[in-house]
Amino acid sequence: MAATRQPDNSDRQFYQPAEEFFPANSHLALTFDDITLATLYSEILPRDTQLDTTLAENLRLNIPVISSDMDTVTESRMAIALALNGGLGLIHYNMPERQQLSEVSRVKNHVHGLIQEPIKVAPDQFIGDVLALIEQKKFGFSTFPVVDRKGKLVGLLSGHVVKPRYAKKKVSEALTPRAQVHTIKKKDLGKDPIARADKFFTEHIGIHKLLVVDEDDHLQGLITMSDVERITQERNAQFKPARDAHFHLICGAAVSATRNAFGELDRERIRSHVGALVERGADVVAVSTAHGHSKGVGDTVRVLRDAFPKLPIIAGNVTSAAGVEFLAECGANAIKVGQGPGSICTTRNVAGVGIPQMTALYVCLRAAAKKKVSILADGGITKSGDIVKALTLSQAVICGGIFAGCNEAPGEIVEISGKFYKQYRGMGSLAAMKAGSAARYGHLPNPAQKVAPEGIEALKEACGSVDRVLAQLIGGIQSGMGYLGAANLSQLREKARYIRVSPAGMREAAPHDVVELKTGN
Ligand code: XMP
Q: How many angstroms does the Cα of residue 214 sit away from the middle of ligand 1? A: 42
Decide whether any atom of ligand 1 lies within 6 Å of the 292 Cβ. Answer: no
Task: Work out the number of other CB atoms within 10 angstroms of the CB of residue 250.
Answer: 26
Distance CA 410, CA 66 (A): 16
Decide whether any atom of ligand 1 lies within 6 Å of the 344 Cβ. Answer: yes
Three-state secondary structure along 357-375?
HHHHHHHHHHHHHHHCCEE
Task: Work out the number of other CB atoms within 10 angstroms of the CB of residue 186.
Answer: 16
Dihedral over Cα of 273, 304, 373, 44: its sign: negative
Closest CA to 500 of 29, 5, 3, 118: 29
> Of 106, 440, 463, 497, which residue is the catalytic one?
440
pLDDT score at 397: 98
Ligand 1 atom with least separation from CA of 288: 22
Decide whether any atom of ligand 1 lies within 6 Å of the 79 Cβ. Answer: no
Task: Work out the number of other CB atoms within 10 angstroms of the CB of residue 259.
Answer: 17
> Active site includes 345?
yes
- The C-alpha angle with vertex 245 and arms to 239 and 247, in degrees rounded to 5, equals 60
Mean of the per-residue pLDDT values for the chain?
92
Closest CA to 185 of 177, 195, 193: 193
User: What percentage of the chain reaches a pLDDT higher than 90?
Assistant: 79
Does 141 have pLDDT greater than 90? Answer: no
Rounded to whole angstroms, what are the CA distances from 4 to 247, 407, 448, 490? 42, 46, 62, 18
Dihedral over Cα of 79, 104, 60, 378: its sign: positive
Q: How many angstroms does the Cα of residue 343 sit away from the middle of ligand 1? A: 7
Sequence-distant (6+) residues with CB within 8 A of 10 are none
pLDDT tens track for 404-456:
999 999 988 899 999 999 999 999 999 998 887 776 666 666 555 557 899 98
> Of 77, 106, 280, 345, which residue is the catalytic one?
345
Does 462 have pLDDT greater than 70? Answer: yes
Does 388 have pLDDT greater than 60? Answer: yes
Ligand 1 atom with least separation from CA of 399: 3
Decide whether any atom of ligand 1 lies within 6 Å of the 387 Cβ. Answer: no
Decide whether any atom of ligand 1 lies within 6 Å of the 474 Cβ. Answer: no
Best mutation site among 32, 33, 68 for ligand 1 pocket (most ligand atoms within 8 Å of CB): 68
pLDDT tens track for 159-202:
999 999 999 999 999 999 999 999 999 989 887 888 899 999 99
pLDDT score at 1: 46
Residues β-bridged to residue 464: 406
Torsion angle defined by CA atoms of residues 238, 241, 246 and 252, in that order, rounded to the nearest 10 degrees: 140
Does 98 have pLDDT greater than 60? Answer: yes
pLDDT tens track for 282-305:
999 999 999 999 999 999 999 999
**Burial environment of residue 209 by CB neighbours within 10 A (0 to 12, 13 to 18, 19 or more):** buried
pLDDT score at 371: 98
